[in-house]
A = this chain, B = another copy of it.
Amino acid sequence: MSTDVVALLRAEFGERVDVRPSALEAVRADKSGHSAPGLPLAVVHAASVADVQATLRIASATRTPVVPRGAGTGLAGGANTGGGEISLSVRGMDRVLEVRPDDLLAVVEPGILNADLNALLEPHGVWWAPDPASRAISTVGGNIATGAGGLLCAKYGVVRDAVLGVDLVLADGRLLRLGHRSVKGVTGLDLTSLVIGSEGTLGVVVGATLKLRRLVEGERVTLTALFDGVRAAAVASAAVTASGAQPAIMELMDATSLAAVHRLLSLPAPPPGAAQLTVQTDGPVAATEARAIADVLRAAGGTVTVAADAAEGEALLAIRRAMHPAMETLGTTLIEDVSVPRSALPDMFDEIARIERQFGLAIPAVAHAGDGNLHPNFVFEGPEVPPVVWDAAEELFRAALALGGTLTGEHGIGVLKRRWLADELGDDQWRLQRDIARVFDPLGILNPGKVFAP
């Protein structure tokens, strides 16, 4: 049957069906480093909505699993494609179909890169706020599929807050237009929100109506504060939130992360054990807000450095942005993604320290401290995640849930967290969610084995 499927795809798409071993190998993995077992049947490079529909009609007729794919920058294995599966790439569908600064919306295809979209929007005086760290290399469709977050979320929201509608191709090839173009709209169930973060289990996103913002006017002020340790930095960040200030960015780096980045960038070593907060304010009262935040940070024991200008501010933020390359110098990493209420950040860092001791591991961690989302990095040698790391990760998930948090703030469940999904949802909700996915995809051909796999 596999041969038949590829023949059917070839008959429909010709050269846009890629079966070269290197291409098949490439779609087995995303940026998590995890790979699906086996070799996919083919990669279909869709160029239009009709291509996606035709692929899904062939897949439905032949009961072949389909894994939708954007730029493959996910961190949970959601786009990993294995033996017997079709990788359906919408990366080539990257047009901006409409920009309406007056209505603060844009209509786009899913394959456009987040950063490319914002470059196109800038001359219109508008932007799309979601800014995952991967924004230069990740697609808008992928941002929607994972419900991406980023650095600016406490002030400017997550993807769910920035999408008015999506066009979705169902497993049987039918096209649905979900959502609306108006600010308000409550006609029927909110399927747009249901699709955001559904990781390819409900359909293939082939278009989106995005909610835009005006470019933020005024200056940006960037500052850092060094603390004796990560708990002090976390307490200080919670104090900033509790003070009522609303920074655009507030990032936390623990001592191991900070030291690794300084080594990578050939900067002078930070004081031993020192953790750092990096804060940026923007908008018409950026300077006033930055002064108030600096006062809170000093009162919490921080040594504050305020950037003299925008260039110096970018240099300070570059330290945070170098986190992932720095981790790669230490070994293979499993990047985790728990999120907790902001007041629980200090306790969550205590839990990470406890788990490091308990399992004899180093777990360098950074956090989007403004919104309570932590990325602890489990570093190990070799390509496979060792059992001890999974045991420690499980302990991390339990600790986050106990603090009122969640397994994943912005990366999704994919394959890497599916084992723990029912722990957070409960069995009743887990089954209900899976049954809802079945309504969209009765044959179970859409990204099977992801999210809801037992």
Contacts and interface: CB of A to CB of B under 8 A. Distances in A.
B176 A343 contact: no
A205 B161 CA distance: 22
Nearest to A213: B246
B190 A194 contact: yes
Contacts of A409: 182-186
Interface residues of A, number: 82
B435 A183 contact: no
A185 B436 contact: no
A343 B103 contact: yes
A371 B182 contact: yes
A341 B100 contact: yes
A407 interface: yes
A340 B182 contact: yes
A429 B178 contact: yes
Contacts of A430: 188
A342 to B, nearest CB: 5
Interface stretch (A36-44, A88-96, A237-245): A237-245
A188 B103 contact: no
Contact of A188 (B160, B238, B413): B413
A355 interface: no
Interface string A384-413: 000000000000000000001111111111
Contacts of A421: 187-188
A123 to B, nearest CB: 14
A137 interface: no
The count of identical subunits is: 2
B341 A406 contact: no
Contacts of A372: 182-184
A50 interface: no
A381 interface: no
B102 A241 contact: yes
Nearest to A161: B161
A154 interface: yes
A191 to B, nearest CB: 7
A398 to B, nearest CB: 14
A200 interface: no
Interface in A308-350: 339-343
Contacts of A187: 406-408, 413, 421, 424-425
B194 A198 contact: no
Q: Which residue, A153, A188, A197, A429, has most C-beta atoms of chain B within 10 A?
A: A188
B408 A181 contact: no
A413 to B, nearest CB: 7
Contacts of A146: 186
Given A176-B429, A421-B187, A433-B189, A244 B182 contact: no
A267 interface: no
B103 A341 contact: yes
A375 to B, nearest CB: 11
A194 B439 CA distance: 14
Interface string A282-301: 00110000000000000000
Nearest to A437: B189
* 4 tightest Cβ-Cβ pairs between the two chains A and B: A193-B193, A184-B409, A183-B371, A147-B186
27 contacts: A102-B242, A102-B343, A104-B241, A147-B190, A153-B183, A160-B190, A161-B161, A177-B426, A178-B429, A181-B341, A182-B372, A186-B410, A186-B411, A187-B408, A188-B421, A188-B424, A188-B429, A188-B430, A188-B433, A189-B202, A189-B436, A190-B194, A191-B436, A432-B439, A432-B440, A435-B439, A436-B439
Interface of A: 100-105, 125, 146-147, 149, 153-154, 157-158, 160-161, 170, 174, 176-178, 180-191, 193-194, 196-198, 202, 214, 238, 241-242, 244, 246, 284-285, 339-343, 368, 371-373, 404-413, 421, 424-426, 428-430, 432-433, 435-437, 439-440, 451-452
